């Protein structure tokens, strides 16, 4: 966790403020969903997509600006000074458009092709689409923290901070601590460091000193170690495929059978 109580509080406040931005983007995305005509997707998609990319750009910028302010305050709390470079990732309109297109109209077409009615396909795609809009918006702040860490020689790395009720995947990433010192390293470590699911409540925090897991994180570590040992005992190497389902069985994560049954 952060070295100081103030730093820890700033990270949690920032996480919640970022989720509030995502929630506002979700409201707009849902209001635009009705303009997508399943009976004529080819005609209705361009206008729909343009409006959604504009929405993503607006809230992505808010997310990025919020993260820039947070980094300065967090450095002041942790290091005594807010000085230091802040790397702004910017907004890649083409990449954002492709992601939103696949999660929206293309997914609707896929569901129709599998036999769903037009109404069922459109309704079925909305939840996942709204999550994707949230993820794309929050990438503004998350990527700023990721890239700023790589430009800050004082940083040990950045770590994933969960919402306190993570899925097994997010808990697994939280067990690693500040192993991500740059985007390149995050990509290199199994390609998972920068992955956030659509409705993910996690954030990223720069670590300037020795990382000490809190009580919840130590619990995630214990569950991971047990699952990994079980995988090894069964003759498997430690991979997502061999460990994650065992973590779900061993722990009470958001996607664990015990939690779902409750």
User: How many angstroms separate the Cα of 85 from the Cα of each of 71, 75, 175?
Assistant: 10, 11, 28
Nearest to 5 by CA among 81, 82, 83, 74: 74
Nearest to 55 by CA among 11, 103, 21: 21
User: How many angstroms separate the Cα of 89 from the Cα of each of 26, 59, 60, 74, 146?
Assistant: 22, 14, 10, 19, 9
Token pair of 202 as six digits: 């996690």
Alpha-carbon span 261 to 257, nearest angstrom: 6
Report pLDDT digits (tens) over 18-56. 999 999 999 999 999 999 999 999 999 999 999 999 999
Q: Is 206 exposed, middle or buried (0-12, 13-18, 19+ CB in 10 A)?
A: buried
Nearest to 141 by CA among 74, 73, 63, 205: 63
Report pLDDT digits (tens) over 218-240. 999 999 999 999 999 999 999 98
Report pLDDT digits (tens) over 156-171. 999 999 999 999 999 9
Nearest to 240 by CA among 195, 192, 196, 197: 192
What is the per-residue pLDDT for 164?
A: 92
Report the mean per-residue pLDDT for the chain: 92
Residue 1 has pLDDT above 80, yes or no: no
């Amino acid at each position: 966790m952060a070295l100081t109580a103030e730093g820890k509080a700033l990270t949690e406040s920032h996480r919640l403020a970022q989720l509030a931005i995502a929630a506002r983007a979700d409201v707009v995305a849902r209001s635009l969903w009705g303009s997508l005509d399943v009976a004529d997707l080819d005609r209705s998609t361009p206008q729909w997509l343009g409006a959604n990319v504009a929405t993503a750009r607006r809230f992505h910028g808010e997310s990025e600006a919020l993260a820039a302010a947070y980094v300065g305050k967090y450095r002041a709390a942790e290091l005594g000074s807010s000085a230091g470079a802040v790397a702004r990732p910017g907004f890649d309109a083409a990449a954002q458009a492709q992601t939103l297109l696949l999660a929206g109209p293309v997914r609707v077409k896929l569901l129709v092709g599998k036999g769903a009615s037009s109404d069922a396909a459109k309704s079925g795609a909305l939840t996942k689409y709204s999550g994707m809009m949230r993820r794309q918006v929050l990438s503004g702040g998350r990527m700023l923290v990721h890239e700023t860490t790589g430009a800050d020689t004082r940083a040990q790395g950045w770590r994933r901070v969960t919402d306190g009720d993570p899925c097994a995947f997010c808990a697994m990433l939280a067990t690693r601590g500040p192993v991500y010192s740059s985007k390149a390293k995050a990509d290199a470590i199994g390609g998972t460091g920068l992955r956030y699911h659509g409705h993910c409540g996690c954030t990223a925090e720069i670590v300037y000193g020795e990382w000490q897991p809190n009580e919840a994180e130590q619990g995630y570590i214990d569950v991971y170690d047990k699952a990994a040992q079980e995988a090894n005992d069964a003759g498997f190497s430690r991979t997502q495929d061999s460990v994650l389902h065992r973590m779900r069985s061993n722990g009470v994560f958001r996607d664990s059978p015990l939690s779902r049954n409750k």
